Structure 1
């Protein structure tokens, strides 16, 4: 397969030869903002594994293998902007967070994760059987 065989997607008003256009195409994109840096993806993965549980910040940090500073840098975007996590209650001085039951975004992320895992399993089986 060569470059001519690959279909081209035309994005109106976007010039792929213009480096400034290329740099700004992804700048501020919600998908990238939600999952990068990878510590945000780690937070989401850790919390999705126990969806419905109320977790202390320390538990989230341990499960995601991130620092408390990293948690503090990202929790507001995940909670306030995207609503994929929420502060539900305080126990003494410890806030508890969860994934909202009605979060459509969390549902979609779980579907993406499940589909990606299935694709990976199938690929691994294909590689093994070669």
Structure 2
């Protein structure tokens, strides 16, 4: 049975890997293991040892504590009467949206942000 902490840490590994645009294969090569092991870590099937987590954190340029952020508040938060997952960037679609957003030049991105704010106020 998967332990909730292992599942959370795995999600955070996948989240950060996606954010930096790295494949499971690339991460595995940097850490010195097979990509199948990364798959098992990311699903929480296998527990990540402290030394391996250290290596993964160095490769992904984050402190080890990054993988434990949000652990005590894993469920959902109410934001203006809407249910939004706390780890919204674990959702692939949301992550793609954020990447696309930051690929837009800053002046256009600012205008898009204001448009989104207006549309959300109307909804």
TM over 0.5: no
| TM-score range relative to shorter protein | under 0.3
- TM-score between both structures, scaled by the size of structure 2: 0.27
